Structure 1
Amino acid sequence: MYQARGEKHWIIPDGFIPPTSAEGSVYESHESICVLNCSSEEALLRLTIFFEDRDPLENILAVVPGRRTKHIRTSSLSAKGASIPLGVPYAIEVLSDVPVIVQYSRLDATQAANALMSVMAHPIK
Structure 2
Amino acid sequence: MSTVVGKWKMAIADGCMPGDRLVLFNAGAGNAHVELTFCAEGGRPLGPFRVVVPPRRARFATLEELAGSGLPGRRVPYGVVVLSDVPVLVQHPADQDAPQARRSAA
> Which bracket does the TM-score occupy, shorter chain normalised?
0.7 to 0.9
| TM-superposed deviation, 1:117 | 4.2
Please tell me the residue identity of whatever aligns with 1:74: L
| TM-superposed deviation, 1:77 | 2.2
Identity %: 29
Please tell me the residue identity of whatever aligns with 2:59: K
* Residues 45 and 94, structure 1, Cα contact 8 Å, conserved in 2: yes
| TM-superposed deviation, 1:75 | 2.6
CA distance in 1, matches of 2:70, 2:85: 25
Would you say 1:63 and 2:63 are equivalent positions?
no
CA distance in 1, matches of 2:52, 2:104: 22
CA distance in 1, matches of 2:104, 2:31: 25
4+ runs deviating over 2 angstroms: 81-85, 106-110, 116-119
Structure-2 residue corresponding to 1:26: none
CA RMSD of aligned residues (A): 2.4
Would you say 1:43 and 2:47 are equivalent positions?
no
Structure-2 residue corresponding to 1:33: 22
Distance 1:15 1:34, change over 3 A: same
| TM-superposed deviation, 1:35 | 1.2
TM (normalized to structure 1)?
0.65
Distance 1:109 1:90, change over 3 A: same
More helix by proportion, 1 or 2?
A: 2
CA distance in 2, matches of 1:82, 1:10: 24
Structure-2 residue corresponding to 1:21: none
Please give the secondary structure, in 2, of the residue aligned with 1:55. coil
TM (normalized to structure 2)?
0.75
Residues 44-91 of structure 1 show CA distances to partners (whole Å, capped at 9, x for unaligned) of: 111111111111112111111011111112332217x53343110110
**Among 79, 90, 94, which residue is 1:91 paired with?**
79
* Residues 32 and 52, structure 2, Cα contact 8 Å, conserved in 1: yes
Distance 1:44 1:118, change over 3 A: farther
Would you say 1:16 and 2:17 are equivalent positions?
yes
